[in-house]
Amino acid sequence: MSTLAVAVTAMAGNPLLETYKTPHQTIPFNEIKTEHYFPAFEEAMKQHIINVDAIVNNPQAPTFENTIVALEHSGELLTKVSSPFHNLLSSETTDDLQKFAEKISPIVTEHANSINLNEKLFARVKAVYQQKDKLKLNPEQQMLLKDTYEGFTKSGANLSEADKAIYRELSKELNMLTLQYGQNVLKETNKYSLLITNKALLSGLPADFMDALASNARKAGKEGWMLNLKATCYVPFMKYADNRDLRRELYMANTSKCMLGGEFDNRENVKKIVNARLKIANLLGYKSYADYELVDRMAENKANVYNLLDKLLKAYKPEAVKEYNEVQEYANKKGAYFTVQPWDWSYYSEKLKDEKYAVNDEMLKPYFELENVKKGVFGLATRLYGIHFTKNTKIPVYNPEVDAYDVTDENGKFLAVLYTDFHPRDGKRAGAWMNDFKAQSMVGKTDSRPQITVVMNFTRPTDTKPALLTYDELKTFLHEFGHSLHGMLTKCTYESLSGTNVYRDFVELPSQIMENWASEKEFLDGFAKHYKTGEKIPAELIQKIKDSENFNNAYLCLRQLSFCYLDMGWHTIEKPFEGDLISNEKELMASTQVLPMVPNTSMSPTFSHIFSGGYAAGYYSYKWAEVLDADAFSVFSKNGIFDKKTADSFRQNILVKGGTEHPMVLYKRFRGQEPTIDAILKRDGISGVGSR
């Protein structure tokens, strides 16, 4: 009897443990309740241990099939149970779900440790690994063997019994700290609101944004206009609000989150997290956590990371200083006789951009109505890869705002399920991301296709207008959709290597390359039409987008570099950090700053990417992959942005392959050479400093 069948017998009535009777065996969200999770986790972990014990007690000599492959399949039920839980914890959380997360987190961590630190199990894995040069394995099998062995060693399998005990405690502590950190950021963000009752204070704000603020107030049972710290409010407010005092107030509220005392303060959590990571790294024989993390990265070591960051800093900073000076001069001309501060930057930059290029979000948004953008983005995948999207209303969803699509290939064959979730809610964390509810793998001879979700926080429709996206939101959609293509088009044997299960500094290539189409006329002509008149976006407006693409690009690069240096700084420490968080942060980011630094502000207490989102010692990946995507898109630019041969090569060599081979091998197979920074410098209009 299979693991799933045993579980069904033991826990009949729990939808998480039953065979789903939904289309494509999608998750029955309408049946799952919070109380179902604990018994489901218990049963899934129990079955996982039974499977692992069967491997350990196998009387036959260890082989790739009876040990490595068996181990790969051993936790299938646990993955099935944990997948909806972890996804909903980010996109549709509740107080009950968060309380359960705090309860189950140390239990699941201890469960993982009991497997990773199982001496007899590791002995079998090691025995197979030591035969790797004699085994006739294909590249994917070689990668699975390598990842399995290194996964054990990086999880403490080679430690002494005493050190294993220390590792267990540290890993549980770290897991709880990162969980608490993320919950604090969400709660602190949701806590803030500012009601404005004097309309004159909101001069400069576009009419549809005012409607959204009024809707916020009505939902809170108030009259007036309600501001909050969600990106769909904060970003446009900082860009358009004439009232400098209010801009400063909102800026200070946003940049002092989780650091002013109270129950959601994350300053101590930051220290505890970086110190726990350092202790784990030291325990495993590494000088720093970055050394530990970068073993399985394209960058390979921190010297190579800093080499790229330093080259980009050298190339972009002189241009960024020029951009700041230009904005400062413009502000002075407009009667602003003060030093431009961070809360002034977006406001005066937007006005300068509008004056120089006669283009702004308010001009573009009418052409980026969400439903049309969806058709355009889906249509791009159709033109490049021949795939089609059909809404399937029979698939259960976790919120009425979520849509589910059947994804099929050019021959009508089923490829994947895609869930789309576009708008902010109190139960959804900030930002945008892609994930899977079920990853692709081969189950025997059957290709088990994936179930993918893309989650964003786009501007909501108002009472008078549909959801109209900014140009940046269009690019965000393309970015996350690129991740989803990686997840949907993959075809691998093993789940742990399929789709986006690749090196962290390679995973952003399929997403970031998609952003390149955002300003291409041939792409925009296919869907961008005025939501009222149906008029196609004018060619001159597209040209203005093109002309303005590099506006303040150097400043934006330095902003990203500041995050990279901050991340690397926290994770290259070789002694426990006991100093002042804010002063350390300012020092780490100092070389990248062109705007004045503001006292009593900090990013670290809300830098979820690195403290609760899996990018620790990995935020540089965005810049690393940006080099790759500029270099890769140069092939499309040369051959045609819809060139089928180029698209098919990218699909077969990058998207289909997942993590089955080293990413540089895959990239060179597509590109024919290693990447250089020349393409990104050319794209950004920066005078070069030489190739990487």
Residues 141 and 203 in one domain: no
pLDDT, average across residues 310-317 = 96
pLDDT, average across residues 12-25 = 94
What pLDDT is attached to residue 8?
Answer: 44
Residue found by looking up tokens 């992959």 in the block: 625
Q: Distance between CA 136 and CA 133 in Å, rounded?
A: 8
Quick one: which of 238, 642, 659, 330 has its CA closest to 487?
A: 659
Compute and round to an integer the Cα radius of gyration of the chain: 25
Residues 402 and 541 in one domain: yes
Count Cβ atoms below 10 Å from residue 49 Cβ, excluding itself: 17
pLDDT, average across residues 612-616 = 94
Residues 57 and 197 in one domain: no
Q: How many residues are listed for the chain in this entry?
A: 692
Q: Distance between CA 563 and CA 368 in Å, rounded?
A: 30
Residue 5 has pLDDT above 50, yes or no: no
Residue 605, CA distances (Å) to 69, 260, 463, 559 in order: 41, 10, 36, 17
* DSSP H or E segment with residue 448: strand 446-448
Q: pLDDT tens digits, residue range 27-46?
A: 999 999 999 999 999 999 99
Residues 383 and 494 in one domain: yes
| 309, 561 contact by CB (below 8 A) | yes
pLDDT-derived band at 464, boundaries 50, 70, 90: confident
> Does residue 145 lie in a domain region?
yes
Residue 469: phi and psi, rounded to 5, are: -90, 150
Residue 101: phi and psi, rounded to 5, are: -60, -40
What pLDDT is attached to residue 688?
Answer: 52
Residues 134 and 45 in one domain: yes
Quick one: which of 353, 483, 496, 497 has its CA closest to 431?
A: 483
In the structure encoding, which two tokens stand for residue 596, read together? 């004045």
Report the relative pairing of strands 403-408 and 414-421 from DSSP bridges: antiparallel
Residue 494, CA distances (Å) to 69, 183, 344, 452 in order: 8, 32, 50, 17
What pLDDT is attached to residue 283?
Answer: 98
Residues 468 and 385 in one domain: yes
Mean pLDDT of the chain: 95
In DSSP notation, 122-169 reads: HHHHHHHHTTTTTS---HHHHHHHHHHHHHHHHTTTTS-HHHHHHHHH
Exposed e or buried b per residue across 349-382, where buried means at least 16 C-beta atoms within 10 angstroms of its C-beta:
bbbbbeeebebbbbebbbbbbbebbbebbbebbe
Within 8 A by CB and 6+ apart from 515, the residues are 475, 478, 479, 482, 629
Quick one: which of 298, 294, 293 has its CA closest to 506?
A: 298
Q: Is 300 a catalytic residue?
A: no
Within 8 A by CB and 6+ apart from 583, the residues are none
Q: pLDDT tens digits, residue range 534-589?
A: 999 999 999 999 999 999 999 999 999 999 999 999 999 999 999 999 999 999 99
List alpha helices for 241-301, DSSP H.
244-255, 267-283, 289-293
The interaxial angle of helices 119-129 and 139-154, nearest 10 deg, is 140
Q: pLDDT tens digits, residue range 438-448?
A: 999 999 999 99
Residue 81, CA distances (Å) to 4, 35, 73, 428, 544 in order: 11, 13, 15, 20, 49
pLDDT-derived band at 463, boundaries 50, 70, 90: confident
* Chosen domain end from 136, 158, 180: 158
Residues 85 and 222 in one domain: no
Quick one: which of 259, 289, 269 has its CA closest to 570?
A: 289
Q: Which of 480, 495, 626, 661 is catalytic?
A: 480
Q: Distance between CA 267 and CA 606 in Å, rounded?
A: 9
* Chosen domain end from 255, 273, 289: 255
Count Cβ atoms below 10 Å from residue 18 Cβ, excluding itself: 16
Residues 140 and 202 in one domain: no
Residues 76 and 143 in one domain: yes
Q: pLDDT tens digits, residue range 343-374?
A: 999 999 999 999 999 999 999 999 999 999 99
What pLDDT is attached to residue 11?
Answer: 62
Q: Distance between CA 254 and CA 248 in Å, rounded?
A: 10
Residues 127 and 218 in one domain: no
Within 8 A by CB and 6+ apart from 206, the residues are 236, 240, 362
At 218, the amino acid letter reads R
Residues 133 and 12 in one domain: yes
Q: pLDDT tens digits, residue range 223-237?
A: 999 999 999 999 999
| 457, 91 contact by CB (below 8 A) | no
Residues 409 and 529 in one domain: yes
Residue 621, CA distances (Å) to 290, 304, 453, 532, 672 in order: 13, 12, 22, 40, 22
> Does residue 250 lie in a domain region?
yes
Within 8 A by CB and 6+ apart from 377, the residues are 477, 478, 481
> Does residue 38 lie in a domain region?
yes
Q: Distance between CA 204 and CA 520 in Å, rounded?
A: 30
> Does residue 237 lie in a domain region?
yes
- In the chain, the number of structural domains is 3
Domain residue limits at 380: 365-549
Exposed e or buried b per residue across 278-317, where buried means at least 16 C-beta atoms within 10 angstroms of its C-beta:
bbbbbbbebebbbbbbbebbbbeebebbbebbebbbebbb
Domain CATH number, residue 539: 1.10.1370.40
Q: Is 239 helix (H, G, I), strand (E, B) or coil?
A: helix
What pLDDT is attached to residue 336?
Answer: 93
> Does residue 320 lie in a domain region?
no
> Does residue 279 lie in a domain region?
no
Q: pLDDT tens digits, residue range 168-220?
A: 999 999 999 999 999 999 999 999 999 999 999 999 999 989 999 999 999 99
Report the relative pairing of strands 414-421 and 433-438 from DSSP bridges: unpaired
pLDDT-derived band at 520, boundaries 50, 70, 90: very high
| 440, 487 contact by CB (below 8 A) | yes
Residue 690 has pLDDT above 90, yes or no: no
> Does residue 504 lie in a domain region?
yes
In the structure encoding, which two tokens stand for residue 295, read together? 């073993």
Q: Is 215 helix (H, G, I), strand (E, B) or coil?
A: helix
Q: Is 476 helix (H, G, I), strand (E, B) or coil?
A: helix
* Chosen domain end from 501, 534, 549: 549
> Does residue 663 lie in a domain region?
no
Q: pLDDT tens digits, residue range 286-299?
A: 999 999 999 999 99
| 342, 595 contact by CB (below 8 A) | yes
